[in-house]
Structure 1
């Protein structure tokens, strides 16, 4: 089978996951479009047979609940897909397995998978500068290989499912308990944080406020604040977590790219 087009469907609050997914789509040589599932809340129908690059980040060892809900807005029928799990160059947890579990309900048939080390949003020293130019080149080459395998296959189900690497932690998500907060004295009221928040927990007319009950600590708001008025709560505990993570780091990790035989 040969897909006529590709679609990037990524939940990517901070942008790294989407960058990886775009590189895979570019490598296929197919015309492709993109669905921003971190910002959009409407259903996302995809034409049957389209190659879908389905991506999400790992947080606390798992794809965030909001990410799974947003990915669940994609619906198609018998479409091949590449599963893309981005993680902070430390521990991918069971993120790929989370994506594999929801794929059938979306009408997707996994044919390939990517474990992509990216910059750790909470511990920026890990994976700094990733995905690099070399990383993106590898993802483009992999996209080309996936497209070639699909062209050579007699039918979608002639391709074996990708052999996913074992999950590296229990299935329960580790809740670190950090939420975003704002220094009202430093806030200039630009509203960039409200536009970036996938959970909608920052009011656009009062961007110095945060509904902490809904915040999952994705840090998208922190990354876009032009005056650094936003930060994670409990800075002393955050510093201790960062120190432990850096001390136990075994990176940098290489991208893992798998396809079924």
Structure 2
């Protein structure tokens, strides 16, 4: 049996949460779906394997690049645990969409988790989460998942929140731009999950490709890439009511 932490995590919040869960299963391998090249090779799993799939919720949906890269996987009835990470607003259809995609790849879903992390654009929402309380709770979730699988109940299916048709998501108008501070080091182009930054024109962003994941903003060594402060402020005002209360992590067994 092998355990895999499989995640699409541009700003690493989802990665951290998936790893908190994976550690309770012992040693594990990693598959980073945030890399442009991650979907190039078909990866086949064994029935006895355990795969923990983690994605951020973008407007209540699974990021399209993550779905595309998962489609090439062959589950062979390996056990799957799903993780949807969101910035304290809501995750709507994310778990259901993830579940249906994973099942279409022939995995068997035995558990799921929704977890809160600091918002990747409006950092005042869920600031510094997952915090100490979250981490303790996530470890407790993992122990319950391990127990379910060890006791032979791992092949009992689950139901997750969500409905069809999935909610419409057209992206957000918050696209990072390079300021005069840009040194054209090229790191942003190498890290962009969708190739929205050309190595030949590093100061530009292809808005038709950009998914507003903020990976370039998070990783720029001189903090040259930014989004419009005015647009962020306006978006924050719209989100304030929905994000006012501390949302809870959830476990689905």
Q: Which runs of 4+ in 1 moved over 4 A?
A: none
Question: 2:246 matched to 1:252?
Answer: yes
Instruction: Supply the distance in 2 between the matched residues of 1:45 and 1:93 (Cα, whole angstroms).
Output: 30
CA displacement at 1:205 relative to structure 2: 4.8
Partner secondary structure for residue 122 of structure 1 = coil
Question: 2:10 matched to 1:5?
Answer: no
One of 34, 38, 41 as aligned partner of 2:39? 41
Instruction: Supply the distance in 1 between the matched residues of 2:212 and 2:4 (Cα, whole angstroms).
Output: 28
Question: 2:21 matched to 1:21?
Answer: no
Deviation sequence 1:160-219 (CA, Å, 0-9, x none): x2232346x952225323222212x21012222122210012123542222222111111
CA displacement at 1:38 relative to structure 2: 0.6
Question: 2:161 matched to 1:162?
Answer: no
Instruction: Supply the distance in 2 between the matched residues of 1:162 and 1:119 (Cα, whole angstroms).
Output: 27
CA displacement at 1:128 relative to structure 2: 0.8
CA RMSD of aligned residues (A): 2.1
Q: How does 1:198-213 map to 2 (within 5 A)?
A: 198-213=193-208
Cα contact 1:221–1:230 (8 A) shared by 2: yes
Cα contact 2:174–2:231 (8 A) shared by 1: no
Structure 2 counterpart of 1:108: 107
Instruction: Supply the distance in 2 between the matched residues of 1:76 and 1:256 (Cα, whole angstroms).
Output: 25
Structure 1 counterpart of 2:69: 70
Cα contact 1:25–1:140 (8 A) shared by 2: no
Question: 2:171 matched to 1:175?
Answer: yes
Cα contact 1:28–1:140 (8 A) shared by 2: no
Q: How many residues align?
A: 250
Cα contact 2:39–2:70 (8 A) shared by 1: no
Cα contact 2:178–2:204 (8 A) shared by 1: yes
Question: 2:188 matched to 1:193?
Answer: yes
Are the structure 2 counterparts of residues 144 and 248 from structure 1 closer, same or farther at C-alpha, using a change threshold of 3 Å? closer
Instruction: Supply the distance in 2 between the matched residues of 1:14 and 1:64 (Cα, whole angstroms).
Output: 13
Q: How does 1:75-94 map to 2 (within 5 A)?
A: 75-94=74-93
Partner secondary structure for residue 28 of structure 1 = coil
* 5+ long unaligned stretches in structure 1: none
* 5+ long unaligned stretches in structure 2: none
Structure 1 counterpart of 2:230: 236
CA displacement at 1:92 relative to structure 2: 1.1
